[in-house]
């Protein structure tokens, strides 16, 4: 990797976790340029240092109580230069979906290995989306798994290909493995995943609302 290291800000209210994560990240590719422990400090730090990627905990004290989603929303004008990768112990649907809809480019859990999180950070820095199997599962659950041929709005439906990619990710496939399985390039898989992320962020489809409502979101 001969590119400049990815500049990262770690936002988490637990100092122990920040320290651990900092030690876990691959120092040759990632440079931690800032840390913050609550919403206000995070927004300030991000505006000051303008990192490439913010590793953002979902549950944060401070601000208006909106946690990670509030940070992402408050830094919206910095996009797409500053990208967010949500990292959390929570796998509750509302947490995941809230932070993704606030603009995060991906979601990983805190039990992720150092190598994996470094990889995810670089992927997000490169403009891609990072989906964990669980996030893919949420997407499939929210958008429905049936292939419906015609829909009014493009945003309301995942294409058959996108569904397939989501399924493979939910099954634990890497992008590379998914590409091999579907006989397409890794680049194409990344495009599909980014499209799904965009739909998840922008879609105001009825089903997503209902699905979220059932789980107490929105």
Partner 1 sequence: MHSVLTRPAEGRVVAGVCAGLARYLGLPIGWVRAGVVALTLLSGVGVVFYAWLWIFVPDEHEAVLTAGDPVRGAAEQVRETPVRLGSVLGQGWQVIFGVVLLGVAAVLALQLGAGIRMNWGLIGPVAVVLLGIALAWLQLDTLREAGRAGRTGRISSLALGLLLVMAGVLALAAGFVGTDELWLGLLVAGVIVAGVVLVAAPWVLKAWRDATAKTSALAVQTERAEIAAHLHDSVLQTLALIQKNADTPSTVVRLARAQERDLRQYLYQDPSRPTGTLTDRLGDLAAAIEDDHGQPIEVVTVGSATGPWLDPVLQASREAMLNGVRHAGPVQVYAEARPEAVEVFVKDRGPGFDLSAIPADRLGIRESVVGRMERAGGTARIITGDGGTEVRLHLPAPAENGKNGEEGRQG
Which residues form the interface with partner 1 (CB under 8 A)? 90-92, 111, 133-134, 136-137, 140-141, 145-146, 167, 170-173, 177, 215-216
67: phi > 0 → left, psi -120 to 50 → alpha, else beta; which? Answer: left
| Token pair of 202 as six digits | 């922008």
CB of 125 to partner 1, least distance (A): 25
Report the C-alpha gap between 194 and 181 in whole angstroms: 19
The answer to whether 142 touches 208, Cβ cutoff 8 Å, is yes
CB of 18 to partner 1, least distance (A): 20
CB of 8 to partner 1, least distance (A): 25
**CB closer to partner 1, 22 vs 134:** 134
CB of 214 to partner 1, least distance (A): 9
Q: How many Cβ atoms are within 10 Å of 4's Cβ, its own excluded?
A: 9
**CB closer to partner 1, 3 vs 206:** 206
**CB closer to partner 1, 80 vs 216:** 216
In 3D, which of 178, 55, 143 has the Cα closest to residue 107?
A: 55
The answer to whether 30 touches 54, Cβ cutoff 8 Å, is no
The answer to whether 88 touches 107, Cβ cutoff 8 Å, is yes
**CB closer to partner 1, 90 vs 188:** 90
Report the C-alpha gap between 71 and 39 in whole angstroms: 6
CB of 181 to partner 1, least distance (A): 9
**CB closer to partner 1, 121 vs 135:** 135
In 3D, which of 125, 132, 137 has the Cα closest to residue 106?
A: 132
CB of 206 to partner 1, least distance (A): 13
**CB closer to partner 1, 44 vs 176:** 176
Report the C-alpha gap between 49 and 84 in whole angstroms: 14
């Amino acid at each position: 990797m001969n590119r400049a290291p990815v500049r990262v800000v770690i936002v988490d209210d637990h100092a122990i976790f920040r320290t651990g994560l900092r030690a876990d990240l691959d120092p040759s590719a990632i440079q931690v340029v800032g840390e913050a422990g609550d919403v206000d400090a995070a927004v300030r730090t991000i505006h000051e240092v303008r990192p490439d990627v913010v590793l953002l905990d979902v549950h944060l004290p401070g601000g208006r109580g909106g946690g990670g989603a509030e940070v992402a929303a408050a830094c919206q004008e910095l996009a797409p230069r500053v990208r967010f990768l949500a990292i959390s112990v929570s796998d509750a649907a509302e947490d995941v979906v809230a932070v993704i809809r606030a603009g995060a480019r991906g979601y990983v859990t805190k039990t992720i290995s150092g190598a994996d999180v470094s990889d995810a950070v670089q992927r997000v820095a490169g403009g891609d989306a990072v989906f964990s199997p669980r996030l893919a599962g949420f997407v499939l659950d929210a958008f429905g798994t049936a292939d419906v041929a015609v829909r009014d709005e493009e945003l309301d439906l995942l294409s058959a290909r996108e569904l397939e990619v989501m399924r493979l990710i939910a099954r634990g496939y890497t992008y590379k493995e998914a590409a091999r399985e579907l006989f397409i390039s890794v680049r194409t898989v990344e495009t599909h995943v980014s499209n799904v992320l965009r739909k998840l962020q922008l879609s105001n489809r009825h089903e997503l609302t209902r699905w979220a409502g059932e789980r107490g979101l929105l």
